[in-house]
Each structure stands twice: as structure tokens, then as C-alpha cells.
A and B are shown apart, each in its own frame.
Chain A
Amino acid sequence: MTARARLFRAPMTIASLVLVCLFGILAVVAPILWGEEALTARPTELLQGPSAEHLLGTDNLGRDLLLRTLVATRLSLGLAVLATLLAAVAGVLVGGLPAVLGGRVQRTFGAVINTWLAFPVLLLAMLVAILLGAGTTTAVLALVLTMTPSFARLAQTLASRVGGSEYLAAARMLGVSRRRQFTRYVLPNIAEPVIVNVTISIGGGLLALSSLSFLGVGVQPPDYDWGRLLKDGFAQVYNSPTAVIGPAVAVVLAGVAFGALGESLAGHLRGQDHGHTGGRRGPAPGPGPGSGPDGGQPSTPDTLLEVDGLSVAFPGEHGWVRPVRDVSLTIRAGEIVGVAGESGSGKSVTMMAIAQLSAPGAEVAARTLRFGDEDLTLLRGRALRGALTGVGVVFQDSLTALNPAMRVGAQLAEVPRTQRGVARRQANRDAVAALDAVAIPDPARRAGQFPHELSGGMRQRALIAMSQIGRPSLIIADEPTTALDVTVARRVMRLLRRECDRTGAAVLVSSHDIAVLGELCQRVLVMYAGRVVEDVPVDALRDPARLAHPYTRALVAALPDLDSDRDAPLATIPGEPPDPADPAPGCGFAARCALATDRCRAEVPELTGHRHGGRVACWHPQDREVVRS
């Protein structure tokens, strides 16, 4: 949890805690201090409005309503706490015990709890209250009966987690008695969530009890709780409308206080899960000094995409995390460019940033981000969306990338319908044609199916069809084959290539498998620790001796032969990539590089032209002829 979140959250915890304590103190002292006076009838001051003497006015016997409200704290709160505790104990027994008694008993109890939970709560309470005669005891009993099953369900869920666990099995084998299993292993593990639930439930119990009293089946005169005061006040609503204010405020405040306290406790209990809040918001990092607008490749007339100084930052727990720093690249029309790198190298984040699909909360900055004739950094909203219709995106995991609740055909047809205003029928025909184009058999039937009804390869084809249907001039494909097996992956890659040959679209495709990229692309960008470290023409890739960057060399050297397993291509590079939240200065690869010098550890090498025709960012680029040092 960050400092800021703590700052905001703590007052809530403190405020609710103070309120709860206040109510607790009131419950103890109010009846002692004012118990007598709250009963004093004043026949001359019946049903008065608020005055200096009686801040909330008087009731139909002339009793002071403020004092009555305060005094009623004890009964209202006491009953709620009592009922909740009884219910918690009963619930833990009903729900927790079966865990140590074994499977059959557990299932039976589960069924009982489920049926019990299906009962309408208030109704059950009212029936019980009537059955046993209206009164305080029965109201509490009714409440216990209705609150028990939810505690039982909670305890059951928690306990079954414990019951299935290894240490309980071990304890059972060691012959630990059941009683001891329960007190020693089951109870401690379910105690905390149950306590949180008790706190929240006290608030709920308070409201439920007040409703029973309001109905007249709860607390009976001469006793009175807030519900009873509300009932009496409401009976006089036209004579003295202010009579309900005191008890109303008390009921709501107490309910809020216990609810908020419970939630704060629950929040603390969840701890880390809950803590991923926004980081310290310093200024978002800009593109950085870098090499200026003309530092990348010179842009030629047929440049389709030009990116310079692209940086992406996310708010992390300790300030900004920058998975992408100062990336520059260009793509010509029709060119197929690969992006290689380990997971975490920033390739996905880079591609999503270019496609303007960064996760919400991300800060994207670039000196230049030009697509076709449009400067994307200047466009917003509809204009930006319009410009970006020229970019089609193929995602990694076709199962999660497709909307599970929408038919495949409708997901495709949506593109021409919204982008070009094509009529629904024509758009549907377009969708079927697009599915046909990626060689999906029986496309009309498949279009009417949901994503989970298609195979993985077919879904990935459908995704490619979806990226093509808007007739883009650039396809961005983020690890399009990672989720597929090798044969299907090859087919999908070939399909991608064929489609682009057909439509003339350029492609930016990423993979952790540099060999696959070598077969598909004309140029491969190698990324490491958020930066492009080498930009290699594909012919250099086929001749490892011409590779310039030590990381690229290691990557290619680590490649297994075509027939062996490709799952761990980086197994031979020792060390770990740097943490994007806390990078060292200098070259990102320095910690793992055999050639690293002091200069490498101090200064970031820039991407500059190299004799293989591409670019490299290294102070000591490797080469066949000379090893400069």
C-alpha cells in the first residue's frame, strides 16, 4: 500500500473505530447517567419540537428524546452484538466442525446450510418472533437463526480449505484427536475472516433488530431500543416530525460505523492484494534526452510508421515503473518487421503503445509517433480513432482476446459497421468472407458460433481475419502464436505472411522465438530491458558471426536445432534481466555481459548504424573482422 493510499484509508479506519468506541462508551454510561431522567414524564411538555432544553424535543409523555436515544444505545447495541456473537459461534460450529469429520458429513452440512440460506431472512425472524411470542429474547433468537447460516457458509468455505490441506491430513495420520484438530488447526485459520464478518454483521444485526422493533415484534415497552423509538416517533409523524431524527441518526451512524470498520479490517486482512494503488504521482517521465528527432533511421518517402523516443511508464508501488524507454523504429509500407526478446523485455508494451492500446493508467510519451500522414501525438478522440483504423491488431491469446459473450461473426462485422457505416447484412457478409479468406472451413456456420466453440488455431485465424477486415496498412501482431502448438503456429505465421502479401499491409510482429521471426521477417528488432538493442537485417541473422550485439549473439547461440524443443531458448544466458522499476544506469545488459566495461555500466549506448546494414546499441559491438575495445 502506498503512502497516499494509507493516508486516505487510515482516517476511515480511525473514524469508524472512534465512532464504534463512542457507541460502546455510550452503551455503558448512558443508562447510568441519564436512565432515570429519560423516563421522567412531563405532562406539560408533550410532543414538543426541538428546544434549548430538549434538543430533539419530547415524546407523547413529555420525555426527552435525546436522552432516550442515548440511553437506548445499550439495548440496541447490546442485542445486536449478542445476536451476532451467538450466530458466529453457532455458524462456526455448524460450518467448521464438518471439516474434521470428513467428506460425507461435510456434504450433508453443506446441503443443510444451502437450504437454510435460501430462507427469507426477515420473514423467518418474524415467524419465529410470533411463534415464541413477541419480545426481546425472541427477536435475538430469530436474528441468531437467520444470521447463523451465512457464518456457517463462511466457516465451511474457509475450513474446507484447511480440511483439504496437507497439515490436517498429516495431523489425522499422526492420530491427533478431532477436538484438537478443530481447536489447533481449523479455528486459528478461520478466526480472522470470521472476526471481520462479525464486525460487519453487527451493523446488519443492528438494522434488522431495529426493523423488528419498528414492526412491533421486537423490544416491547417499557423497554425501548432505537427501533422502538422510531416506531413511536413515526406514529406521531404529523404532530412532531422531528421525533424520529434522534433514533434515525443513531441507527444509520452505528450501521455505517460497524460496516466501515469491518471493511477496513477486511482491507487490512487482504493486505497486499489490496495495496496495488497508484504510486506517488511525480510528473510522468517524458521521452528523455535521447538522440533528437533525427536520431533514428532517416525517414524515406515510403515510411509508414515512424516512432522516436517512445517511453511507457506505469504507476507502481514505489513510483513509476518504466518497461519501455526511448524506443525508436520505422517501418516502410509493406515491410515485415519482427520484434524479439524475452518476456518482460518490453516488446508487448511497445507494440500496444504504438497501437494506442496501453492499459488505462499508463503514461505514454514519444518525440515522434507518426503513422502515414498523421502525427498521432497531436490527435485525440474521434480523429485519433479514425487515423488508427489503418492499424489492425492481432493479439496473443485468442481465447481471452475474443469476447466470450458475442458471436464470432458479430465481432468481425462490428468493424465495417462502425468504421465505415456498412449496413448490418453487408457487414455480416464481409465477416463471413473474411473468415473464408483465412481458410476457416464452413465460415457461415462458424460466424454464428461463440469463441469457445472454435479450436485454438481457428480462433487465432479469426483474430487475423478481424485485424484484416478494416483493410489496415499496418498489422501489429503481439506474439500471435505463443498459445498455439508448433505446427499450428507455423501455419498461422504463414497465413499472416500470405495475407499481408495479398493486401500489401506492413507487419510488426513479436515473438520470443527469434528463429520464427527469421523465417517470416525482413528485419528483426531485438529488445532488452525496455530498449531496442539491435536492429538486424534478416540475412545477418542467418550468419551469426555478423551479429553485433552480445545479447543478440547469445539469443541466437541459445537457439536449439530446428527439431529439438524450443520452449527454453534462453537457458544458456546466465543472470536475470533488470527490474524495470529500479534499473541500474548504463547498458541494461551489463550485468550479464561478458564484455562489459566501466563505460557500459555508466552510460547508455545509443542505437547507431552498423556495417551489417542495421543498427546496434552497444559500446563494444561484435563483428567478424575486428573486435574493437
Chain B
Amino acid sequence: MNPWVSFLLRRTTRVVVAMLVIVTIAFGVLRLAGGDPVRAALGPTAPASVVDERRAQLGLDDPVLEQYVNYLGDLLHGDLGTSLVTGRSVSDLVGNRLMPTLELAGLAFVVALVFAVLIGLCVAVFTQGHRRRGLELAFTGVSGFLAAIPEYLLGVLLVIGFAITVAVFPVAGQGGPDSYVLPVIALAVSATAGLSRIARIEALNTLRDDYVRTARAKRIPPWRVYLRHALPNMLTGTLTIGGTLLATMITSSVLVEQVFNWPGMGTAFVQAIVTKDYGIVQGLALVYAAIVLVVNLLVDLVLALLDRRTTLLETG
């Protein structure tokens, strides 16, 4: 079989299987979670008749298998379910909330990638040949420290810093460009720190390669050696890790959105968890899962294109 076809098949199958598992778990959330989810969502004071009506409306009294088939059918039509509390369509909610989330995660991803690669390359250039051990140690220490700060915690600290002491950037909501600054920083810092270490190692390996010496032999300016010859060759390795970062960022954004009251899916998701509106939880979880899986698939494809010779041969 054409290696490309089998590669695509393999990866797509993986995504479909993972998606099916998630759909099933999500289906289970609404049917199995802690007793009667409709009662839980509507609260103990709601009259029994209202609860029963809502249950019937949602088809929760049908046989489970039938529910499952109906659920899959609805999903295929783009119906992500309804809120248990308000009865509104989750698809509409997603329509309103998707963009802010993607903007935030995407921006943080780009920021992290660019900074990590540049920092990693710079530090590698200065520390190659085992020179400047001090710089290397400082880099390892600082990046290790920053990488250990969870995104939401950095968010909390940023809110405190900027809300209480200097009100330079807005600490809540989405508005002008300056409203992006703090959430993006919160989301990007630990990723940048972690990835810059990988980037440095990749860059060190690349700088040892023969073609870098060839480039030096052309007596071109050093920046050109690093940016034109070393950079493209260190990217594949860095992006392999960096790609998985985008998926991580989308899920981390759930908490960061919550901290900054960002009008994205994350805030709605957490809100729904708190109010036990499992209709929304179920729908949003699916959307998140789909985004993450598709992003991972795309990253794999891009990498395969970038590195034609090795990726295709990899199994599994």
C-alpha cells in the first residue's frame, strides 16, 4: 500500500476510535452521573412534573441502546444536545464561545512556539562547545522553575499583581488587544519554558551537524548561518513536541479562561460543572475532545510533510 495512504488511514482510525470512546463517555455522563442529572440540574425545589417532562423531552426514559443510537444520529446532524437547565441548544452556545477560546489558545501557542524556538536557539548558540556553563545552568534553573508553574496559578498571580498593584492590563473579560495580554502570558509561559529546553537540545544537535560547518565555510554572516541553516533543521524535532502543546493548551485554557473570566467555552464548561448542567458539560466535552484530536492529527500530518523520510516509516 502507498505509505501515505496507510499513514493517513492509521491516524484517522486512531482519531475515530478515540472520538467514539469520548462520545460514549459523554453519553454516560448524562445517564449515569450521580442519580438523576435532571433533578440535580433543576434543583430539589423543582416540581416532580417539570422534572419528568424534561426527562421525557430529552428522551432519557427510552431504552439505553435507543438513546445511544439517537444520540449518535443527533451528533451527526450537528446537534450537541441541550442545556438541562435552560433547554437551550448547546450548538448555539458553542457557536458563541468557540472563537474566543481558539483565539486565546492559538495566540498562546504561537507565542510559545516563537519564543521557545528563539530562546532555545540563542542559548544553544551561546553554550555550544560546552562554553558558558554559567549561562547553561541559569537557563536550566529558570526554565525548570517557570515550567513548574501551572497555567491557572500564573493566571491567579497575574490577576493579583495587575488588579491590586498596577492596573496596566485588564484582568477580566475579552476586549481590545490589551485584554489578551495577561491570559496569553498565563497560558504561554510554562509551555515556553518547557519547550525552550527541547528547542535548545535540538539546536545543539543541529549546530553540530556538518551542514552548519558548510554554511560557515561560505563566510556568510553568523545570523544567516543560524536562521537560514540551523533553524529550519531544528524545527521538526521541536515541532513534534510543540504540536502536542497546542492540544495541551486548549485544555489548559479551560482553567485560564475561568481565572480571567474569558467569554470562551472553558468558562461555560466550568460554569456548567458547578451548576451540574450535564447537558452542556456533555456537549462541550465533545467539542474539546474533537478539537484536540483534530489538532493532533493535523500536527502529525504537517510533521509528516516536513519530514517525509522518517515519519512514514514509523509504525503504530
B229 touches A403 (CB 8 A): yes
**Chain B, 7-45, contact with A by CB distance < 8 Å: what is the 0/1 string?**
000000011011001100110110011100000000000
Cβ contacts under 8 Å, A215 to chain B: 254-255, 258, 270, 273
Binds B, one of A25-33, A392-400, A503-511: A392-400
Give how many B residues have a beta carbon under 8 Å from the other chain's beta carbons.
76
B289 touches A123 (CB 8 A): yes
**Chain B, 219-249, contact with A by CB distance < 8 Å: what is the 0/1 string?**
1110010001100110000000000000110
Binds B, one of A125-133, A285-293, A328-336, A615-623: A125-133
B22 touches A252 (CB 8 A): no
Q: Using A127-B26, A360-B128 as known contacts, say yes or no to A238 and B215 having CB atoms under 8 A apart.
A: no
Q: For the complex, give the distance between the alpha carbons of A418 and B217 in Å.
A: 12
- A93 at interface, CB cutoff 8 A: no
Q: How far is the CB of B139 from chain A (nearest CB, A)?
A: 13
A418 touches B221 (CB 8 A): yes
Cβ contacts under 8 Å, B218 to chain A: 414-415, 418-419, 466, 470
Binds B, one of A51-59, A203-211, A534-542: A203-211
- How many A-B contacts at CB < 8 Å in the complex? 203
- A268 at interface, CB cutoff 8 A: no
B130 touches A276 (CB 8 A): yes
A403 touches B289 (CB 8 A): no
Q: For the complex, give the distance between the alpha carbons of A5 and B219 in Å.
A: 34
Cβ contacts under 8 Å, B259 to chain A: 234
Q: For the complex, give the distance between the alpha carbons of A527 and B213 in Å.
A: 23
Binds A, one of B60-68, B89-97, B151-159: B151-159
B233 touches A405 (CB 8 A): yes
Selected from B157, B220, B270, the residue in CB contact (under 8 A) with A248 is: B157
Interface residues of A in 4-19 (CB under 8 A from B): 4-5, 8, 12
Selected from A115, A252, A382, the residue in CB contact (under 8 A) with B14 is: A115
Binds A, one of B74-82, B106-114, B142-150, B173-181: B142-150
Selected from A131, A263, A315, A361, the residue in CB contact (under 8 A) with B25 is: A131
Q: Using A215-B255, A251-B153, A470-B218 as known contacts, say yes or no to A126 and B292 having CB atoms under 8 A apart.
A: no
- A424 at interface, CB cutoff 8 A: no
- B214 at interface, CB cutoff 8 A: yes
Q: How far is the CB of A407 from chain B (nearest CB, A)?
A: 12
**Chain A, 247-289, contact with B by CB distance < 8 Å: what is the 0/1 string?**
0100110011001100100000000000011100000000000
**Chain B, 286-313, contact with A by CB distance < 8 Å: what is the 0/1 string?**
0011001100100000000000010000
A418 touches B224 (CB 8 A): yes
B213 touches A234 (CB 8 A): no
A237 touches B163 (CB 8 A): yes
Q: How far is the CB of A211 from chain B (nearest CB, A)?
A: 6
- A386 at interface, CB cutoff 8 A: yes
Cβ contacts under 8 Å, B258 to chain A: 215
A248 touches B148 (CB 8 A): no
B29 touches A115 (CB 8 A): no
Q: How far is the CB of B295 from chain A (nearest CB, A)?
A: 10
A217 touches B273 (CB 8 A): yes
A393 touches B217 (CB 8 A): yes
B273 touches A360 (CB 8 A): no
B15 touches A400 (CB 8 A): no
- B209 at interface, CB cutoff 8 A: yes
B270 touches A397 (CB 8 A): no
- B281 at interface, CB cutoff 8 A: yes
- A359 at interface, CB cutoff 8 A: yes
B210 touches A401 (CB 8 A): yes
Q: For the complex, give the distance between the alpha carbons of A460 and B85 in Å.
A: 73
Q: For the complex, give the distance between the alpha carbons of A219 and B197 in Å.
A: 33
A237 touches B14 (CB 8 A): no
A259 touches B147 (CB 8 A): yes
- A241 at interface, CB cutoff 8 A: yes
Q: For the complex, give the distance between the alpha carbons of A131 and B24 in Å.
A: 12
Q: Using A244-B160, A248-B153 as known contacts, say yes or no to A131 and B148 having CB atoms under 8 A apart.
A: no
- B48 at interface, CB cutoff 8 A: no
- A167 at interface, CB cutoff 8 A: no
Cβ contacts under 8 Å, B128 to chain A: 360-361
- A613 at interface, CB cutoff 8 A: no
Cβ contacts under 8 Å, A419 to chain B: 218-220
Q: For the complex, give the distance between the alpha carbons of A278 and B34 in Å.
A: 61
A207 touches B150 (CB 8 A): yes
Cβ contacts under 8 Å, A107 to chain B: 316
Using A216-B273, A277-B130, A404-B233 as known contacts, list a sample of 12 further A-B pairs with CB atoms less than 8 Å apart, ordered by residue number in A: A131-B29, A234-B259, A244-B160, A248-B153, A252-B149, A255-B150, A355-B217, A361-B128, A361-B129, A405-B232, A406-B228, A415-B218
Pairs across A and B, CB under 8 Å, 28 listed: A8-B133, A111-B14, A111-B316, A115-B17, A115-B21, A120-B293, A127-B29, A130-B33, A130-B273, A131-B29, A215-B254, A216-B270, A234-B159, A251-B153, A255-B148, A259-B147, A278-B131, A357-B217, A361-B129, A362-B129, A382-B221, A385-B219, A385-B221, A395-B210, A400-B210, A401-B214, A418-B224, A470-B219
Closest 6 CB pairs of A and B: A361-B129, A360-B129, A255-B148, A400-B210, A278-B130, A393-B217
